[in-house]
Amino acid sequence: MRTREQVLKDLQTRFKDDIVDLLDKSPKRVYMEIKPESIVRVGSYIFKDLEARFNIASGVDARSHIEILYHFSLEYINLLISLRVKLDRKKPVIDSLTTEFKAVNWIEREMSELLGIEFKGHPEMKRLLLPDEWPEGVYPLRTDYEEWDKNAIRDRGV
């Protein structure tokens, strides 16, 4: 099995042009920022060749841009690699990873409805969590989200 140094070095040489920034935060955590267009290549390499487990992706609205972090854990070296991509806030579009492995299917659906990120090539893009009457184009996890349902009960219900 490879060691932590080998894995990181391997990633750095293999994806020299794709990596924007690499933050070695602690022995167990590495944050790697990559270009959005290379997500499928880097993501599937980590998942398939490095035999990582896909933990989850978390989308963040960071006001100036929208960020997605794909967390992968490599159990054999006790390391968690978080791939960070930064997307344009006006029109966040990224390639879907679902074609590579099934574990991202649901979380991509969730992010597209909560944050309005478009995943190109997702096979079954439909609502996962929000109710049917939720209006299109209203994304609850955006920072500029405003209550659209004026009749919602917000007091103690008494």
Partner 1 sequence: MAKSVIPIGPWHPLQEEPEFFTLTVDGETVVDMDVSIGYNHRGIEKLSEMKSFDQATFVIERICGICSTSHPFAYTRAVEDVIPVEVPDRAKYIRTIIAETERIHSHLLWLGLAGHFLGYNTIYHWVWKLREEILDVCEILTGNRNNYAIFKPGGVRRDFNMDDIPLVLRKIDGIIPTVDRLKKAILDDPVLHARLKGIGILTKEEVIDYSALGPTARASGVAKDVRKDAPYGAYDRVDWDMIVTENGDVFDKVVVRVLETYESIKIVKTCIAELPGGEIDLNIKDIPPGEGIGAHEAPRGETFHYIRSDGTNRPARHKVRAPTFMNLPTYKATVIGETISYATIILAAIDPCYCCTERMAVRDVEGKRLFGGPDLVKLSQEKTARMKREMGMP
Contact between 73 and partner 1 (CB under 8 A)?
yes
Contact with partner 1 (CB under 8 A) among 40, 50, 69, 138 = 69
Strands 93-95 and 118-120: parallel
Going through the chain in order, the beta strands assigned E by DSSP cover: 19-26, 29-34, 53-61, 66-74, 79-87, 93-95, 118-120
User: What residue has token string 């008494």?
Assistant: 158
Q: How far apart are CA 27 and CA 38, in angstroms?
A: 25
Residue numbers 89-128 binding partner 1 by CB under 8 A: 101-103, 105-107, 127-128
Q: How far apart are CA 110 and CA 48, in angstroms?
A: 23
By C-beta, is 66 or 94 nearer to partner 1? 66
What string marks each residue from 27 to 66 as x (binds partner 1 by CB under 8 A) or -?
-xx-x-------------------x-xxxx-x-xx-----
User: What residue has token string 């920034």?
Assistant: 21
What string marks each residue from 10 to 29 as x (binds partner 1 by CB under 8 A) or -?
----------------x-xx
Footprint of partner 1 (CB under 8 A): 26, 28-29, 31, 51, 53-56, 58, 60-61, 69, 71, 73, 75, 78, 80, 82, 101-103, 105-107, 127-131, 140-141
